[in-house]
Amino acid sequence: MAPWWLLLPQRCAVCDRPGPALCDACRRSLVLLLPPVCERCGAPGPWPVRRCAECAGRRLSFASARAAVAYDASARRFVRAWKEGGRRDLADEAALLVSQVVQPPATHGVVVPVPSDPERRRARGHAPAESLAEAIASRWGLPAASLLRRARRFERQRGKSAAERRANVRDAFAAARPVQGAICLVDDVYTTGETVASCAGALRRAGARRVDVVCFARVLRAG
């Protein structure tokens, strides 16, 4: 039997009007994170810098991080429909936006998703980061592989400070097998970067030469 979201009339994930999965007006409402951005963490700013106030002084296991759109009200509705509303079709829309804004890593390599929580995956019936990684890999002509696993349970990151997030995911991920070469690590939303940093650290310890992070949306820090 086809998924329920294929049987019902299609609606825009942001405005909920009948029509495309993301209507033209709502697509235009998304804030694209175009240059200039921080060379390391991808935070937007008035001019390009190698390290911005958000990532300066932090030990980051990834070489770079980039996202397609700002995580504002429109993007939040899109992500909610995608992750909690079961709209698996939105992974392709997210990958299209990523491919329009983010350049493929110069080192190429394998596209790897941040592993999902097993309980949330069962409840949702899908894993958004995995679907996004597969869609991005297809658009960029790169292989995709699930090279990470959750090494232990940890609490949800929502509502935690940056320091609490860091402690919450410390050593929470491990490589499923030895890794070689360059990795493009994919997640749906970049908040403080602690989850992808923990994943990147696990990949580096397993042998990855370089890890670049790509996300659909990014939370912007005030100021």
- Nearest alpha carbon to residue 220 among 52, 44, 51: 44
pLDDT computed for residue 117 by the predictor: 83
Task: Concatenate the DSSP letters of all residues of 29-83 into one string.
Answer: HS-B-PSSBBTTT--B-SS-BSS-TTTTT---SSSEEEEEEE-SHHHHHHHHHHH
Which residues on adjacent β-strands are paired with residue 211?
183
Q: Which CATH architecture has domain 21-53+60-218?
A: 3-Layer(aba) Sandwich (3.40)
Residue 164 pLDDT class (50, 70, 90 cuts)? confident
pLDDT computed for residue 8 by the predictor: 62
pLDDT computed for residue 4 by the predictor: 46
| β pairing state of 64-70 and 182-190 | unpaired
CA dist., res. 72 & res. 132, Å (int) = 19
Convert the pLDDT of each residue in 31-80 to its tens digit.
Answer: 999 999 999 999 999 999 999 999 998 989 999 999 999 999 999 999 99
Which residue in this structure is represented by tokens 């759109």?
69
Domain assignments of the chain as residue spans, ordered by start? 21-53+60-218
Please answer whether residues 91 and 98 qualify as being in contact, where contact means their C-beta atoms are separated by less than 8 angstroms: no
CA dist., res. 204 & res. 39, Å (int) = 20
Residue 122 pLDDT class (50, 70, 90 cuts)? confident
